[in-house]
Structure 1
Amino acid sequence: MVRLRSLRNKLLGVIALVMLPAVLVSIATIIVYDLHVYEQTITDDMTTQAELLGHMSAPALSFDDARLAHENLALLRLRPKVNAGAIYDAHGRLFARYAAQRDTAGVPAQPGQEGFRIEAGKLQLFKRITDNGELLGTVYLRAEYEVLERLLDYILIGIVAGILALICAWLVSRRLNSVITRPILSIADVARDVIATGDVSRRAPRLGQDEVAELADSFNKMLAEIEIRKRELETSNREIARESEQRREAQQEVMRLNQELEQRVHERTLQLEMANRELAMAMEEAKSANQAKSAFLSSMSHELRTPLNAILGFAQILTSDKLPSTLAQKKEFANHILKSGRHLLTLINEILDLAKIESGAVALSMEPVGLPDILQECEAMMAPLAAQRGIRLLFPDRCTINVTADRTRLKQVLLNLLSNAIKYNREGGAVVADCTQSAPGLLRISVQDTGMGLKAEQVRMLFQPFNRLGQEAGVEEGTGIGLVVTKRLVELMGGTIGVSSSPGVGSMFWVELKTTEPVPLPVPGPASPALAGLPVPERDSVTLLYVEDNPANLKLVQEIIRFRPELRLLSAPDGQLGLELARAHRPDLVLLDINLPGMSGFDMLRQMRADPRTAAIPAIALTANAMPRDVERGIAAGFSRYLIKPINIDEFTEAINATLSTTMSGTTERQAHPQPERKQ
């Protein structure tokens, strides 16, 4: 089989590529040189011929002898390469001419610029005739320009020479085949057999003692190495096949584990997506709560400033000399101050209630609570408020079931619902309280009003913190957190709260609590005095020590004590002086503020308990620190009572009377039963 790109053909090509350019360069050099010589020769010959004709024709031009000029031109017949000739006088008129028989072009009518030119394959020459510097005329010659014919002849010669060079190269390559290509081709034949059959035991013959022979030896060594490696590879392949089977089994196990992992990832992804949705909802709720809180702060500022405005305004009138007022007006102004102060205290208590619930500091006393008494008390407390707006209160007379709840907190819940029903009712409307058995073991207490009702959006956001029943700030008094406190108190008591409302008709709030069996209520004894509380044992004088750094608060307590002639009040502006007065006067009771300059109320109480002279003196905290943790800390520190400012006079009087009564009763008992003296 002939291989077009075999080594032999490549060798022939190399020889041809070496010889052929050399031949072509040689021929081209000869052609260029010959054409240059030819052109130089013909131009020199034409110039000489023109000068000769001009010299011979000068007398004819001088004597106007046209015949002589024609005879001179007729001599051009002896030059077959010259096709035509002409002589022009000094004025450029044709004087004589010559044309060969084969020429049909004629001569120019006027002489051209002196020199050579080539037109239509003809070489033309214009040569001026002068005599002693005088222009006599012009000679014109036209001859054959055979450069193209000579070039074609040389190209043909070059082709023949190239063919002869290729033939020589082929003959040389045949001779070199046995010397160069045969050893290499023998190695190639062995390599093809090895590739085709896979028999690496074959060996290439060594021909000669040159580099090709060394190549054959290296090739044979390579085949021997390949044979050894092949046997090792077959052994390794068997081992790899065994390992591959093991990998396949391991891969199947990995695929199974991957499927389980994908399933787990899918489950975790679903859980994460659910968590993200819950987080987004929580963030949205937090955003809504923050917006409501911002609105609450604005509303709270208004609500707190409103009663403060009345308190400070009427107080300024009472203390102003420029605004005289009658005794009746002073009493009226004082009532306004008292009403505004109580309203301000209610606002603060609502905020404190929410703080207690949020911190988990609310302690409930769950017990069976009879509804008739609770509803009767609520009706009595709400009746004056309803009467001011002409609103009728309708309470049931058939609710005899007991519920499990904290009595105080249940009363707070019902009062809040009734207060809202009156506050957001229309003038002359009605509030209906009712109770029904909603399910076995559950009692629903409902409060329905005839107000403007709530929209669905208002109902949805009703129990969120700081929401004011959808009302704008200033429309109705209140903090907007009463319903939040109510809802959480109900939930702490194990109940539920809900609402249904129709715009323009009214709203109904309901509370569901667990029922319990009725229990007999204890028969109430005689009522205790409203203000005095427990009576103080009779003594000529009872000394109180009040440690307070605020002069206004001190003045208030002094005015309260002034109506109790049996009480003597000592005062101190700081804890250090109060401690010294307590040691010096041994008061029966100490009223102690917490936030004092230099020494706090807790520090003073600690030093009193450490001193035997003052260790037994009871102390009542009278402070504005009203948070649940503050109250717990005060009781734990050893205060017998913890009163929160602003002072409620009834509570204040009852705390003093109860503490003094307990202390003096213990003293009387110790005096009646003295301890026996120890014998020395």
Structure 2
Amino acid sequence: MGPRTLLDALTDLAVVVSADGHVTDMGAAARAFLGDRIPRDPHLRDLVEVVDPAFRAALSEAATAALAQSGQWRGSVGLVDPAGTTVPHHVTIRRDPDGGLVLLARDTTDQRAREIAENDSRAKDELIARLGHELRTPLNAMLGFAQLLELEPLTPDLHDDVERIITGGRHMQALIDDVLDLARLRAGRGDINKGPVNVLDIVQGVVELVEPLAAQRSIRRVIDPAVPLIADADRRRLWQVLLNLVGNALKYGREGGSVRVGIVPITGSRIRIEVEDDGAGLSPRAIDRLFRPFERLGAERSGIEGSGLGLALSHALVTAMGGVLTVASRYGVGSVFAIVLDAVDMRFEDPDSDDDGFGDHLGGHGYRGTSYGRAGYGEASHGRAGYGDTAYGDAAYGDAGNGRARPTGTGEGGAHGGRHARVSVGGAAGGVGRRAAPGGLRVVHVSGDPAVRAAVADMLTESLAADPVTVPRAALAVDAVRRARPAFILLDRDLPDASAPELLAQLAADPTTAATPAFVLTEDTDPRERTMLRRAGAVDILALPLDPASLVAAATALTAAMTAPR
């Protein structure tokens, strides 16, 4: 591939100028942009003609000074396109070893438009937040006086009127709270307090809470699979999101149908919580607008109450917790909303503590002593056609009963008995990817990247027959090491909430974890970086992507050093 081919492949405007100022070459994008506005044998000074006059003096002065000092200049310049419109460009001018110049100009119109849109969005969120605060004060006064009136001896009609005021006021208060919550989350100021959360406990609580609505519409609720996994999440916020998703499934689902909530372990030490309904489903165009604030997709004409904020707020909350909220739907068949969160491996109790921080919260669900596949949370086949690890696909909705799995434990052959709102729990924990834990090495791996976690877990299991304990962020690492008592620790150089040196310092400060050897995984090959990490406390540095041979060699060397006579 010659120089001309390389220049033509660039989408940026690229021009090469010799030491005497003559243009010797330019890319296809530059030729199209300049057109016949410059001579056939152009000089550097001819290129100035396409620079907006308002920028010429400043460009000449700044570029000349920078090239004399460092041999390079970068800045924003307005260039006039063939239609006569000034278009913003980011321009780079670099002097080559022969004294010539290379000029590159990138159109930043889209970037500028994006910045304007982001600024407008921030301004709108700020306005909404201020408006919400201004509305809350008189609303609180109104509710307060209405509640005082409620205590007075009123006629039945007046009492009903006061009740309507209080009901409407509380509805408005909830709406204002949601608007303020969404504005704070979009501004990066959301109130999120993450920690290990028993997902099954929350799911069961939410499903029980919506029992009146389910009974009203004769909808059967099923929890399947019901694997008692632990997520790294904000308990209150996860409850809020699941209440919204399950509530929507009941409101928009088929009367007399069913709603299924499933807890599924997936690769990369993550958990997927699925909420499935058999309602009308959503069209692709509707899905594109689904998570926009105040977007109800025409439901406002159905008579079903709602503000259009629930899904937008749920999406923002899940994102703030470091997770993903997705939807798969087939029009006329139903929808599946899925929350994906990092998992926390709580198989081991802290031997130095009488309380593991959860009490009977986890043990009551048969969590301890159960292994969930590779890395504690391997892929599981949970008896539902078409619901794979990464996509739902059309196979999720087959012909037999819309492709919906027949949940176990429903009783009466799936018939709706009694109040039609019974909760069925299926998918025993021990049946999901269970295998005996390796009897040898135990290794804690701290990583915020699910792909890296999955790859390292596979390698530890296959190369060392080790039992991997994966940790999604630094804040959980010390507790995980105290519980698991591993042979050694692997930690990524960059973590979501800390750097490797910071985590190494935390581990060294804890008497229980200080003696556990730690290896740092990094893509950086700079010797100075590796020296710094060793000084921070790392036993050694292993390159990413991790090579099985280097992992085995490091583990072997560590074992030899620890067993050598002293």
State the TM-score bracket (shorter-chain normalisation). 0.3 to 0.5
Bigger fraction of residues in helix: 1
Could you say which structure has the greater relative contact order, defined with CA pairs below 8 angstroms and 6 or more residues apart?
A: 2
TM-score by length of 1: 0.32
Structure with max Cα Rg: 1
TM-score by length of 2: 0.38
